[in-house]
Amino acid sequence: MKRKVVLSLFVFFLLLILIGCGNGKEPVNTNVTKSNNDTLILYFSATGTTKKIAERISTKLGSDIVEIIPKEKYKDEDLDYNSDCRANREQNDSKARPEIKNKIDISKYDTIYLGYPIWWGTNPKIILTLLDSYDFTGKTIIPFCTSGSSGIGQSVADLRKYNKNLTILDGKRFSVNDSDEVIKKFVNDNTNEVDNNMKAIINGKEYEIKLEKNETVNSFIKMLPLQLDMKELNGNEKYAYLDSKLPTNVFNPKRINAGDVMLYGDDCLVIFYKSFDTSYSYTKMGHIDNLPNLGKDNITIKFE
């Protein structure tokens, strides 16, 4: 009798072990929080700095948060930029796509805050792996980064160039010591709905400006209605200096497209009516479709 009881217990525990080990599939990454909203904080952090900012943004929004975990963890020696380290090799290799360990479910989210450190002036290559692996179509991506000094502008430009079908906002660079007020302002600027269109009246004709969603545009809208006498420059642009300085998020677009509306410096509004390559840096404000050649004369433009 005792033998039967012992044997039964042995079979029971064996079944438990087999059930527990039977699922060899890697689980979907578990969210740190379980909210009901449609916003996700998604981040990659090799040293923990970006993680701290991501957690603070998640707390402010009450949103779910998920870490992008590399299959091969980055060690200190992998980030020694003064050597032939792994990070340097990846950033110099256009085909490098570091594997992501965890599966990530982005299906229920409309807005995704995407965080990463700046490596070699741009995003780590694992972010390109992310864009290759998941469908972000129809979602709004709000980048944020951490770095010692480099801004976020170039990384955003690179991501937009990598996948032109995605909606990627300008985002913001943070340092680990930024105050709660800085975090709060970033969240508020990206959650407050702003009219995404503005009119420019040029030579009596109205043109729609499709605006970017950034702090520069938010500040400029507060100046409307506004009439500017815009001067001709280089046979490709009209410009005017504003009475007030605007916040900036400068990057080098490498190419200007006819219809681009940019801010040069922090107080010079520029409308380009021809396309050309450029080495200058700007903050992008919007775009006017089908903008004609505005000619060589100075003109008056009203913004509403």
Q: Is the pLDDT of residue 12 over 60?
A: no
Q: Which domain holds residue 239?
A: 197-303
Helix (H) or strand (E) holding 301: strand 299-303
The verdict on 233 and 175 lying in the same domain is: no
The verdict on 176 and 101 lying in the same domain is: yes
Q: Is residue 54 part of a domain?
A: yes
Residue that finishes a domain, picked among 162, 191, 220: 191
Pair type for strands 260-264 and 268-272: antiparallel
Residue that finishes a domain, picked among 191, 207, 226: 191
> 9 by DSSP, 3-state: which?
helix
CA 277 to chain centroid, in Å, comes to 24
pLDDT digits 0-9 by tens, 122-172: 999 999 999 999 999 888 899 999 998 889 999 999 999 999 888 899 999
pTM of full prediction above 0.85 = no
Q: Is residue 8 part of a domain?
A: no
Number of domains in the chain: 2
Give the whole-angstrom CA distance, residue 83 versus residue 85: 5
Q: Is residue 12 part of a domain?
A: no
The verdict on 253 and 297 lying in the same domain is: yes
Q: Band the pLDDT of 192: cuts 50, 70, 90.
A: low
Contacts (Cβ under 8 Å, ≥6 apart) of 209: 197, 198, 199, 200, 261, 285, 286, 287, 288, 303
The verdict on 181 and 56 lying in the same domain is: yes
Q: Is the pLDDT of residue 188 over 60?
A: yes
CA 274 to chain centroid, in Å, comes to 27
Q: How many CB atoms within 10 Å of residue 158?
A: 15
Look up the CATH number of the domain holding residue 234: 2.40.100.20
Residue that finishes a domain, picked among 156, 191, 226: 191
CA 262 to chain centroid, in Å, comes to 19
Q: Is residue 34 part of a domain?
A: no
Q: Is residue 283 part of a domain?
A: yes
Q: Band the pLDDT of 215: cuts 50, 70, 90.
A: confident
The verdict on 143 and 234 lying in the same domain is: no
Contacts (Cβ under 8 Å, ≥6 apart) of 44: 50, 67, 68, 70, 115, 116, 117, 124, 126, 127, 130
The verdict on 49 and 128 lying in the same domain is: yes
Stretch among 51-55, 74-78, 216-220, 277-281 having the lowest mean pLDDT? 216-220
The verdict on 95 and 67 lying in the same domain is: yes
Q: Is residue 261 part of a domain?
A: yes
Q: Is residue 139 part of a domain?
A: yes
Q: Which pLDDT does position 28 carry in this prediction?
A: 46
Provide the angle, in degrees to the nearest 10, between the axes of the packed helices 49-61 and 180-191: 60
What are the angstrom distances between the C-alpha of 58 and each of 51, 183, 301? 10, 10, 41
The verdict on 61 and 139 lying in the same domain is: yes
Q: Band the pLDDT of 197: cuts 50, 70, 90.
A: confident
Q: Is the pLDDT of residue 212 over 90?
A: no
Q: Is residue 21 part of a domain?
A: no
Q: Is the pLDDT of residue 19 over 90?
A: no
Q: Band the pLDDT of 213: cuts 50, 70, 90.
A: confident
The verdict on 138 and 265 lying in the same domain is: no
Classify residue 139 by its DSSP letter: P
The verdict on 228 and 183 lying in the same domain is: no
Residue 186 identity: F
Give the whole-angstrom CA distance, residue 28 versus residue 35: 17
Look up the CATH number of the domain holding residue 62: 3.40.50.360
Beta strand segments in 12-164, E? 39-43, 64-67, 111-117, 140-146
Scored b (16 or more CB within 10 A) or e, 95-127 reads ebbbebeeebeeeebebbbbbbbbbbebbbbbb
Q: Is 44 exposed, middle or buried (0-12, 13-18, 19+ CB in 10 A)?
A: buried
The verdict on 174 and 247 lying in the same domain is: no
The verdict on 59 and 171 lying in the same domain is: yes
Q: Band the pLDDT of 37: cuts 50, 70, 90.
A: confident
Q: Is the pLDDT of residue 6 over 50?
A: no
**What secondary structure, in 3-state letters, does 64-91 show?**
EEEECCECCCCCHHHHCCCCCCHHHHHH
